Amino acid sequence: MTLPQFKFLMPTSLREACALLEKHQGKIKIKAGGTDMIVRLSHRAVKPDFLMTVKKIPDLDGINYSPKGGLTIGALALLREVETSPLVLEHAPMLARAARATATVQIRNMGTVMGNVCNASPSADNIPTLVAMNARIVAASGSDEREIPIDEFFLGPGRSALQANEIAVAIKVPTLAAGSGVSYQKISPRSKVDIAAVNIGALVTLDETGKCRAVRISMGAVGPTPLRATQAEEFLLGKEITDATLAEAGRLAAEDASPITDVRASREYRKLMVEVLTTRALKEAAGFASGQSSIAE
């Protein structure tokens, strides 16, 4: 299938890229790895006059960590690089699991985590864990930068809080508090490489007595944007993590989900899977938080 005609732009600095976005507002699209964009172009889902790659902009591909600043994933860091990065595996192994759950190795060798995020698909593999870990998106507009809390980043399917002249340049993931654990769970219709029918990210922090001190639960593919399971979060605070509290948290999460029926799953099935996967994610995250479980892939 042929692509629509467009002019290809290849800026070599952020300032130049942001100026091009400003100049061609409404007529330009950004490509990083291109694994989503090329498909959308081929299906005429988008028909821009200009397609701009950010591949030639320096210093956007790093993965760095500091105890104070946490983990920083550059906009051009490939899914495969995040999946295999020693820093990610040590400090945020569920981000590596989510990257590994994205499509196939061939696609992960081309696509980026940032592209997966900025595509703003409700079923994106890498979003729920980032939401659970309270990440922030760094957006640049020329010489200026701002950080957008990930809870405020998604406005609807395919829509983000990025302004017309902004480029997302990095993802910042805070260092986990002591006594914290994270889990990512996914179910898809045909195989692990298929798009998620439901995916869940969960973070649990336990106090010295083993009670839940903090919790964040993010649900994917069950609403127009990633949803927080706020009822389940409020219910778990101050409680011990038991089979009974986990089961109730799963039930409450399903109440907060707003899925639809489509080719991947029915509304009823998604509701049930939210309950199952939330319970599973919370149990695993609590096990990591208490030190009773270890990552095994």
CATH code, domain carrying 118: 3.30.465.10
Q: Is 205 helix (H, G, I), strand (E, B) or coil?
A: strand
Mind listing the pLDDT tens digit of every residue in the chain (297 residues)?
Answer: 689 999 999 999 999 999 999 999 999 999 999 999 999 999 999 999 999 999 999 999 999 999 999 999 999 999 999 999 999 999 999 999 999 999 999 999 999 999 999 999 999 999 999 999 999 999 999 879 999 999 999 999 999 999 999 999 999 999 999 999 999 999 998 766 689 999 999 999 999 999 999 999 999 999 999 999 999 999 999 999 999 999 999 999 999 999 999 999 999 999 999 999 999 999 999 999 999 866 655
Of 16, 31, 53, which residue is a domain's last?
53
Same domain, 189 and 272: yes
Q: What is the extent of the structural domain holding 237? A: 180-289
Note whether residue 1 is domain-resident: no
Note whether residue 196 is domain-resident: yes
Q: Is 140 helix (H, G, I), strand (E, B) or coil?
A: strand
Of 173, 203, 226, which residue is a domain's last?
173
Distance in angstroms (rounded) separating the CA atoms of residues 74 and 86: 15
Distance in angstroms (rounded) separating the CA atoms of residues 92 and 129: 10
Distance in angstroms (rounded) separating the CA atoms of residues 264 and 247: 25
Note whether residue 58 is domain-resident: no
Same domain, 160 and 196: no
Note whether residue 2 is domain-resident: no
Note whether residue 216 is domain-resident: yes
Same domain, 83 and 48: no
CA 87 to chain CA mean position, Å: 18
State the angle between helix axes of 243-256 and 267-290 in degrees (0 to 180), rounded to the nearest 10.
140
pTM, two decimals, is 0.95
Is beta strand 50-53 parallel, antiparallel or unpaired with respect to 7-9?
Answer: parallel
Distance in angstroms (rounded) separating the CA atoms of residues 172 and 242: 32
Our count of domains for the chain comes to 3
Note whether residue 279 is domain-resident: yes
Is the distance from CB of 235 to CB of 225 less than 8 angstroms? Answer: no
Note whether residue 237 is domain-resident: yes
